Amino acid sequence: MAIVYDEAEKVFLLNTQNTTYAIAITDETFLCHLYYGKKIQDSHIRYLLKEDESPYVPSVNKRETNSFLDMFPMEYPETGMGDYRESAFCVRNVEGHRASQCGYRHHVIKNGKPEISGLPATFASDEECSTLYLYCEDEVLQLQLCLMYSVFEKEDIITRSVTAENYGKQPLYIEKILSACLDVEDRNFEWVSLHGTWARERHIQAMPIAVGRQNVASFKGESSHQEHPFIALATKGATQDVGEIYAMHFVYSGNFLAQIEKNAFHMLRMTMGIHPEGFTWKLEPGGCFATPEVVMTYSAEGYGKMTHNLHELYRRHLIRSAYLHKDRPILINNWEATYFEFDEKKLLDIAKQAARLGIEMFVLDDGWFGKRNKDDSSLGDWNVNLEKIPGGLHKLSQELKALGLKFGIWMEPEMISPDSELYRKHPDWAIQIPGRDITQSRAQYVLDLSRQEIVDYVYEQIAKILHSAEISYLKWDMNRQLTTIGSMGLVADRQGELFHRYVLGVYQLQERLIREFPDLLLENCSGGGARFDPGMLYYSPQIWCSDDTDAIERLAIQEGTAMLYPLSCIGAHVSVCPNHAVGRVTPLETRGHVAMAGTFGYELDVTKLSEEEKEEIHKQIVCYHRYKELIREGDYIRLLSMQKGDRADAWMVVDKLKNRALVWCVRGLNIPNDKGFFLRLKGLDVESKYHIDEKQYSADVLMNCGIRIKPADKDFVSNIFYLERQTK
């Protein structure tokens, strides 16, 4: 069974195929963490609590309760009663006191998995998942917490979330409510995170753990370019195949805190949830608050197993789109080709050439609406600029259809320009603090999506555009963070709810969108990759990875992204050189190879390409069609990383039956007098033979000896190798 309760021992075992998570109940009704690691069968593990040692167990040594609380491995630590480490929960009552102590009351074990109202979350059938509900109460506050653990056996995943319910007669104010906590002994762990900024998101970072608190976080109103809602503990020197990994990933698109704390006793506390900065939630009598979900996994086989677990969970139990297992059209986006300088003729010239090359969709980016000739006006005024597109979107979509192209469009629904008809009519709709200037970013403000009337208006505008033409794809952008945090629609003691209510508004919009337009291919974006998180995947099967389309910079960005997300989620395009973000010149072949490790498309003016370049693009399109199912469905395996000092970046995908594989290898600057090297593969059927370029190799030879990577004759050279298992 996935969840077992030993009543005599008062121990819960949460079992996946390869792991066990153990929780115990003390006589004082504390819930404590016992164990997380390789699968165990025996529930007789209470000795791990060291209950026989003073000053443990307040019932025996009450005078040292403070010491007990400050050392005990709490399953869900609270504020104000003596545990001075990072808490997961802080609540204030109407008298202003901040303290709670919720003791275990009862539990329920059910097959399946509950939805979390208004929030994205993993889903599963009764056969695929079981859930443990631990109910805890504070009788003084008349508050109930429910800790929920859903066990995905096949994926080696446990998800966690929390609900808080006020069953008293006075309101309570939640000031912190994280979704998960994990207390473990330090075993010379490092902590791992993804960091960056605009145009260089999600670079992998591993750091020693010092005594004290170290974290990654965002309080920008989105998960952010700078940090990512992921954190892991890894044994020192862990590789793709060796070492222990404890990972947490947050299914949320707003402010987050992911933290490691090491105390003087070499205990580590790992926490994750909504960032408490600027957060307060008024919990009325009878009210309930639900946290977003944390995805948690343990790997005893290095980063590769962690990656596999997360990829499988997201493909099977998070992404809902009809495009999950469906071919996605190769698109061309006009942004880097034209920016705001276009008319209908220019768009059709690009489209005609694109259709000849085999591209399948034309996407019209920013500048098609209002008076949008640069980025300082018209957001919120979603009416077609008839000077640029005289026939409107319907006529344009029909002309594209006649060329054999589908039509997609860009919108930024969450924003409003100061220079717009909408702002002149509704200045109070922008997020703002009375008496203060509203902070501008990219010459725009943010609409207050905590207010239902604004959510409804925004949705009507999106739906109006989508109904006006044959539109198959929507790129949903968000080009700035939230500042001057105030809502004209919230009373004083609810202003601390704005950040979270804003995210709930975004989720409501996208939920309504995919329900009314189930065949729409939705791609989320936020100034590139500022909102690339599991929460967004619940609504869109792909997310624009970064505004930096340089193939070499993309290696680091896509490596960090692919560590957590399937390749089919990663928006990746081929762009022009010199690259618009970094000025680098990279072979067109390499740009194509890197973009194929994603959703694949183009972002350049194909009318300006040479015949040789057009021929290369046509060749890339043929290549991608041959391998697209393998790339979309296959298991991703990282082989080499230039970011970690290897001489190349290399990765591969292998289908579930190990019949086919595709291998990428990309090198950086050319090395003088280079003799090449051998690239060792992984994940093949060791008893089989594989064909590569009409030659036959044994799998054990390919994995232990490798394939030949010949010397490069120029910078940034790449190769793709296709392997097919020999039929018997």
Catalytically annotated residue among 83, 183, 448, 477: 477
**Residues 291 and 571 sit within 8 Å (Cβ to Cβ):** no
H-assigned helices in 267-418: 302-317, 335-338, 344-357, 392-402
Identify which of 646, 552, 630 has the alpha carbon closest to the alpha carbon of residue 590.
552
Using DSSP, state whether 223 is helix, strand or coil.
Answer: coil
The domain at 639-725 falls in which architecture? Sandwich (2.60)
| pLDDT tens digits, 260-305 | 999 988 999 999 999 999 999 999 999 999 999 999 999 999 999 9
Catalytically annotated residue among 448, 547, 550, 649: 547
Q: How many residues does the chain have?
A: 728
Terminal Cα distance for the chain, rounded? 39
CA atoms within 13 A on the CB side of 423: 22
Write out the two tokens for 66: 């403070």
Instruction: For residues 51 and 465, give the distance between their C-alpha atoms in angstroms, rounded to a whole number.
Output: 64
Q: How many CB atoms lie within 10 A of CB 389?
A: 18
The domain at 331-413+452-477+523-633 falls in which architecture? Alpha-Beta Barrel (3.20)
**Among this protein's residues, is 693 annotated catalytic?**
no
Instruction: For residues 96 and 103, give the distance between their C-alpha atoms in angstroms, rounded to a whole number.
Output: 22
Write out the two tokens for 474: 């929507």
Instruction: For residues 478 and 503, give the distance between their C-alpha atoms in angstroms, rounded to a whole number.
Output: 12
pLDDT of residue 673: 85
Q: How far is CA 110 from CA 32, 113, 129, 148, 644, in A?
A: 21, 8, 9, 11, 44
The secondary structure of 632-668, three-state, reads HHCEEEEEECHHHCCCCEEEEEECCCCCEEEEEEECC
Instruction: For residues 266 and 210, give the distance between their C-alpha atoms in angstroms, rounded to a whole number.
Output: 10
* Dihedral over Cα of 153, 159, 160, 165: its sign: negative
Write out the two tokens for 215: 């974290």
Write out the two tokens for 585: 């010149």
Apex 242 CA angle, 238 and 246, nearest 5 = 60
**Residues 294 and 159 sit within 8 Å (Cβ to Cβ):** yes
| pLDDT tens digits, 481-504 | 999 999 999 999 999 999 999 999
Instruction: For residues 719 and 671, give the distance between their C-alpha atoms in angstroms, rounded to a whole number.
Output: 17
DSSP 157-217: EEEEEEEEEE-SSS-EEEEEEEEEEEEEE-SSEEEEEEE--TTS--EEEEEEPPSEEEEEE
Q: How many CB atoms lie within 10 A of CB 704?
A: 11
Residues 6+ apart with CB under 8 A from 694: none
pLDDT of residue 548: 96
Per CATH, the number for 3-317 is 2.70.98.60
Identify which of 456, 380, 478 has the alpha carbon closest to the alpha carbon of residue 425.
380
**Which amino acid is located at 155 in the chain?**
E
**Among this protein's residues, is 138 annotated catalytic?**
no
Q: Which residues of the chain have pLDDT under 70?
A: 53-57, 59, 61-62, 64, 728
Residue 306: burial class (beta carbons within 10 Å; 0-12, 13-18, 19+) = buried
DSSP 412-481: -TTEE-SSSHHHHH-GGGB---TTSPPPPBTTBEEB-TTSHHHHHHHHHHHHHHHHHTT--EEEE---S-
Instruction: For residues 557 and 545, give the distance between their C-alpha atoms in angstroms, rounded to a whole number.
Output: 8
The secondary structure of 62-75, three-state, reads HHHHHHHHCCCCEC
Q: What per-residue string of b and e applies to 98-137 under the rule 16 or more CB within 10 Å gives b?
A: ebbbbebeebebeeebeebeebbbbbbeeebbbbbbbbbb
Tell how far CA 152 is from the center of its chain: 19
**Residues 569 and 318 sit within 8 Å (Cβ to Cβ):** no
Identify which of 421, 333, 349 has the alpha carbon closest to the alpha carbon of residue 383.
421
Instruction: For residues 115 and 179, give the distance between their C-alpha atoms in angstroms, rounded to a whole number.
Output: 15
Instruction: For residues 180 and 271, give the distance between their C-alpha atoms in angstroms, rounded to a whole number.
Output: 6
Show me where the domains of the chain are located.
3-317, 331-413+452-477+523-633, 639-725
Q: How many CB atoms lie within 10 A of CB 452?
A: 12
